Amino acid sequence: MKPRIIRKLRWTLLPGPFLIGLVIFSLYRLPTWRRFELISYDWRMKKSVEKKVSGQVVIVFIGDETLKLLGQWPLPRYWYASLTGILKEWGARVIAYDILFLEESGDKVADRELGRVVSEAGNVIYGCYFEGKLAVKEGMISGEKLLEAPVSLGKPTATGCVNVPTDEDGVTRRYPLFISYQGKLIPSLGLAALINYYQLPGAAIKRLKGGYIALTVKDQERRLPVDESGSVWLNIYPELNLFPHYAMVQVLQSYRLWSQGKTPLISPEVFADKIVVVAHTAAGTTDVGPVAGQERYLKAGLHASFLENFFQDDFIQPTSRAVCLLLPVAGAIMAGLTGVIFPPAVGFLFIFLFGCLFVWVVFWLFTTYNLWVEMMPSLTGLFVTTLSTSLSQFILERREKNRLRSIFQRYIAPGVMEKLLGDPSEIPLGGERRLLTILFADVRGFTSLAEKISPEEAVELLNRLFAVLEEVIFSHGGTLDKFIGDAVMAIYGAPIDQIDHAQQAVLSAVEMINKLKEEKDQLQVRIGIGIHTGPAVVGNIGSLRRMDYTAIGDAVNLAARIQDLAPAGEIFISEDTYTRVKEIVNCQLIGTVQVKGRKEAVRVYRVMVNQDSARAQGGLL
């Protein structure tokens, strides 16, 4: 063996790669370098397979629709009292409020009512909050100023802190189990819910060596992997919609129907023996921030994700510090050997392919076994050692100087490095273009009606109306797109193809009008309906945080404009719809009208509705 080869092997197998691996490992303990590994962690979380829920965690959210119907923010406390009583009566095992009641509301009657219900329920957990900076002391997060609910709001069965600290880059990835305060350990909201769910005594929770906190549940020890601060790495569920979720106003209305012996919109069984997390989701009331895999995330989902991780034993497990050190050292040694055995270009290609294989393996371990193997230190060790070996060959073999330089200039390019770093790509959005029939139905005079009745009566009226319209839409194969205040949008012809989608839409409209006539004593409202047939884009459309199956396009806008023209109890359709239903429907030409947003005028027809004939002939003359 030539002396120069021997010298290279000595450097490769002995101090060089080991020192490189050790230095890289040390660098990635620093916040600046650590951030690159956390970016790769977020990429793996974002690209993880779709998660499934156990159904043990239910979310009741207080969103814009609840505030619209029950009042502006902040809601009076008696609504929370009503919700708590309903959930208790319907069998919820734990009710955890991710809402801070840190002071009296000013309405002493409502506050006392909430306090009474909470005290009597015996299964309510209030959220508490640590103000100021949190610090890690003696292996535990510590806080100095704790804010809790006043005594006048009752005696909950427990309190749980809602603080979820971020990492140094401002992204939340971990969930603390406890926060130390004045010699006591305050559990997180999620852990407090588990403790009360299983009725765990203090002795059932203990910290083990090796980075675990153990919970003894039903005589079985469950180990939760924790870091140096006593926090678990969450397997974050990207959307709250993955959990069983219901609006607060829906729960209240369902209870009213149930207590009257009627069929509720929400079955009481969905809350039985479950942990119910109550959280705000309305604009301006929510705690939103970046988490692993998501740029904007409702922090209430962190508590739900923690609970779901526990029920499915689905926490992220980091590898040990010894493995974290071994991998970059081993990668550096292998890269050094490759540089000795193969020519520079071949060696670099081999390392590149090996690096890609390594990325695939660690991604597979993360998504399949929730095992977090640090990726960036090993990749850095591979390519830094490859570079070092190549530079060594450059010094030893002067004749290959220019060739080596061109090789490395070619392969270590910014675009290649970005690919290796694994920058996440955008979630593809959009849908497909299809011929659809769109129906809009709007309550006429609802604003003036709402002024004459109470909010509760308005909610009940809308829910009963929407139930009727929904039943009609579904019976004709339509898709209920959305409720828009006191209006309904439906599409026909998607997602399932309908040859007669225009006919079914008109049949739906006639049946809606006739059903409201039949129930005029119970539903004292009248609607105007607009229908148009045309091309639209339909599919999952939205943002990274939320996507809905809906239709967009000029056809949708035109249907809405035609609906604006229809008086109460009337159905207006466009000429495009009329040409498809004229053989089975009797219509009257209204005329050519100019609608807002369109240059060309539109021919509009009125569907002639006859209630007696509707029963015998499908609703049309």
Please give the average per-residue pLDDT across 325-353, as a whole number: 80
Q: Looking at the domain assignment, is residue 210 inside a domain?
A: no
Structure confidence at residue 341 (pLDDT): 75
Structure confidence at residue 579 (pLDDT): 92
| Bridge partners of residue 440, in order along the sequence | 489, 530
The Cα-based distances of 237 to 302, 324, 600 in angstroms read 8, 27, 48
Looking at 369, 395, 421, the residue that finishes a domain is: 421
Q: Is the pLDDT of residue 11 over 60?
A: no
Going through 250-327 in order, the beta strands assigned E by DSSP cover 275-280, 288-291, 294-298, 317-318
Same domain (yes/no): 71, 33: no
Same domain (yes/no): 40, 115: no
Q: Looking at the domain assignment, is residue 205 inside a domain?
A: no
Same domain (yes/no): 274, 357: no
The distance in angstroms from the start CA to the end CA of the chain is 100
194-203, 252-261, 397-406, 541-550: least confidently modelled range: 397-406
Structure confidence at residue 585 (pLDDT): 86
| CA 281 – CA 289 distance, rounded (Å) | 13
| CA 235 – CA 306 distance, rounded (Å) | 8
Count CB-CB contacts under 10 A for residue 199: 9
How many percent of the chain have pLDDT more than 70?
87
Structure confidence at residue 421 (pLDDT): 35
Structure confidence at residue 315 (pLDDT): 92
Q: Is the pLDDT of residue 287 over 70?
A: yes
Structure confidence at residue 395 (pLDDT): 58
Structure confidence at residue 317 (pLDDT): 92
Q: Which of 366, 390, 374 is nearest to 326 (CA)?
A: 374
Structure confidence at residue 480 (pLDDT): 83
Q: In the 3-class helix/strand/coil scheme, how is 522-580 assigned residue by residue?
A: CCCCEEEEEEEEEEEEEEEEECCCCEEEEEECHHHHHHHHHHHHCCCCCEEEEHHHHHH
| Residue 347 belongs to domain spanning | 3-48+317-421
- pLDDT level of residue 267 (50, 70, 90 thresholds): very high
Residue 515, token pair as written in the block: 């059903």
Letter for the amino acid at 8?
Answer: K
Looking at 421, 443, 467, the residue that finishes a domain is: 421
- pLDDT level of residue 393 (50, 70, 90 thresholds): low
Same domain (yes/no): 502, 439: yes
Contact 302, 286 (CB under 8 A): no
Count CB-CB contacts under 10 A for residue 88: 20
Contacts for 565 with CB less than 8 Å, ≥ 6 apart? 528, 530, 572, 590, 593, 595, 604
Q: Which of 251, 328, 447 is nearest to 28 (CA)?
A: 328
| 111, burial (CB in 10 Å: exposed 0-12, middle 13-18, buried 19+) | buried
Structure confidence at residue 601 (pLDDT): 85
Structure confidence at residue 595 (pLDDT): 78
The 10s digit of each residue's pLDDT in 461-470 is 888 888 889 8
Same domain (yes/no): 189, 80: yes
The 10s digit of each residue's pLDDT in 500-546 is 999 999 999 999 988 888 887 677 788 899 999 999 988 767 665 56
3-12, 129-138, 191-200: least confidently modelled range: 3-12
Strand-strand pairing, 135-137 and 294-298: unpaired
Contact 477, 504 (CB under 8 A): yes
219 — phi, psi (to 5°)? 65, 15
Q: Is the pLDDT of residue 476 over 90?
A: no
The 10s digit of each residue's pLDDT in 96-124 is 999 999 888 888 899 999 999 999 999 99
Contacts for 125 with CB less than 8 Å, ≥ 6 apart? 94, 95, 96, 97, 156, 157, 158, 159, 160, 189, 192, 193, 196
Same domain (yes/no): 301, 340: no
DSSP of 360-412, one letter per residue?
Answer: HHHHHHHHHH-EE---HHHHHHHHHHHHHHHHHHHHH-GGGHHHHHHHHHHHS
| CA 174 – CA 158 distance, rounded (Å) | 22
Q: Looking at the domain assignment, is residue 220 inside a domain?
A: no
Prior bond of 343 cis (ω within 30°): no
Same domain (yes/no): 84, 143: yes
Letter for the amino acid at 168?
Answer: E
Could you tell me the CATH number of the domain that includes residue 505?
A: 3.30.70.1230
Same domain (yes/no): 540, 442: yes
Same domain (yes/no): 499, 452: yes
Contact 277, 98 (CB under 8 A): yes
| 456, burial (CB in 10 Å: exposed 0-12, middle 13-18, buried 19+) | middle
Q: Looking at the domain assignment, is residue 208 inside a domain?
A: no
The 10s digit of each residue's pLDDT in 556-586 is 999 999 998 888 889 999 999 999 998 888 8
94-108, 134-148, 379-393, 475-489: least confidently modelled range: 379-393
180-189, 230-239, 426-435: least confidently modelled range: 426-435
Same domain (yes/no): 330, 307: no
Please give the average per-residue pLDDT across 309-313, as a whole number: 92
Q: Is the pLDDT of residue 129 over 80?
A: yes
Looking at 421, 440, 456, the residue that finishes a domain is: 421
Q: Is the pLDDT of residue 605 over 70?
A: yes
- pLDDT level of residue 84 (50, 70, 90 thresholds): very high
- pLDDT level of residue 412 (50, 70, 90 thresholds): very low
Between 54 and 385, whose confidence is greater?
Answer: 54
Q: Looking at the domain assignment, is residue 488 inside a domain?
A: yes
Q: Looking at the domain assignment, is residue 127 inside a domain?
A: yes
Contact 437, 493 (CB under 8 A): yes
Same domain (yes/no): 386, 454: no
Please give the average per-residue pLDDT across 387-397, as a whole number: 65
Same domain (yes/no): 457, 561: yes
60-74, 288-302, 403-417: least confidently modelled range: 403-417
Mean pLDDT of the chain: 82
Q: Looking at the domain assignment, is residue 236 inside a domain?
A: yes
Structure confidence at residue 297 (pLDDT): 87
| Bridge partners of residue 161, in order along the sequence | 128, 188
How many domains is the chain built from? 3
Strand-strand pairing, 94-97 and 275-280: parallel
- pLDDT level of residue 233 (50, 70, 90 thresholds): very high
Q: Looking at the domain assignment, is residue 465 inside a domain?
A: yes
The Cα-based distances of 397 to 8, 351, 403, 596 in angstroms read 11, 21, 11, 77
Q: Which of 152, 153, 134 is nearest to 143 (CA)?
A: 134
| CA 148 – CA 105 distance, rounded (Å) | 14
| 376, burial (CB in 10 Å: exposed 0-12, middle 13-18, buried 19+) | buried
Contact 218, 198 (CB under 8 A): yes
